[in-house]
Amino acid sequence: MSMTQFLLVIAGIALTALSWGSYGPVLHEGQGNLNNDRIKPLICVGLAYLVVAVIIPSAILISQGKFAGGWSFGGFSWSFAAGVAGTFGAFGIILALTNGGKPWFVMPLVFGFAPVVTTIISLYTKNLWSQAGPVFYAGLIMVVAGAVTVLLFAPNAPPHKKPEAPAVTQTEDAHQPSAEPAAESETAEK
């Protein structure tokens, strides 16, 4: 691996960590502004996927003359399955946040357990079980233990205070004639 490739790998990891790390808190804010609906934020995420992951790459491939060739059923199927998995992941996060989960413990749990799932799938599909040793599995166990520790010791936000009721003041009913003007007119006549 050249130094340029290495730096691009690090840049890609940093971009992913920044993007996926901000995903939960940003989604939580959006969901709150959509009356904690479960489906509307998913539609917004889907629209973002459409623009960022379909329209822009298609335009790049078309401009390079690469859009028409190179498609295969296997490549499409596996890539589509990855997109479906990502979409269900987005829905899972929305579901967790809608039902009282907070980004500061939902996201660490997601990112604690997701690498374990990734590793198991990769070990299975590449038949690498025999190459994984005890230290490797100890690392996976530590990832899970870290995620569970975050859940158990997550900070609790202070509960929302109920807005105080406005002070009750004596107001005159607009439909009832006021007694004061009548009293003033009687005084004026005398």
Q: Quote the CA–CA distance of 113 and 123 in Å, as a whole number.
A: 16
The region of weakest confidence among 21-25, 144-148, 161-165 is 161-165
Amino acid type, 188: A
Whether 190 is covered by a domain: the verdict is no
141 plus 151 within the same structural domain: yes
- How does the average pLDDT of the chain come out, rounded? 83
The boundaries of the domain holding residue 33 are 25-63+77-101
Domain identity same for 96 and 115: no
Tokens representing residue 7 in the block = 């730096």
Domain membership of residue 14 (yes or no) is no
83 lies in the same domain as 133: no
- The token duo for 78 is 């596996």
CA distance 129 to 155: 38
Domain total in the chain: 2
pLDDT digits (tens, 9 = 90+) for 63-119: 999 999 889 999 999 999 999 998 999 899 989 988 888 888 888 888 888 888 888
For 1-14, letters b (16+ CB in 10 Å) and e give eeeeeeeeeeeeee
Looking at the structure, do residues 107 and 81 belong to the same domain, yes or no? no
Domain annotation covers residue 45: yes
φ, ψ at 47 (rounded to 5°): -65, -40
CA distance 47 to 28: 17
Which one has a higher pLDDT value, 151 or 25? Answer: 25
Provide the H-helix boundaries in the chain.
Answer: 3-33, 39-49, 56-64, 73-98, 103-125, 134-152, 179-189
Q: Give yes or no: residues 52 and 89 share one domain.
A: yes
Same domain, 31 and 96: yes
Residue 108 sits in the same domain as residue 144: yes
Q: How confident is the model at residue 11 (pLDDT cuts 50, 70, 90)?
A: very high
Q: Residue 105 and residue 155: Cα distance in Å, rounded?
A: 9
Does the pLDDT of residue 4 top 90, yes or no? yes
Q: What is the pLDDT of residues 124-138, one digit of tens each?
A: 989 998 898 999 989
pLDDT band at 169 (very low <50, low <70, confident <90, very high): low
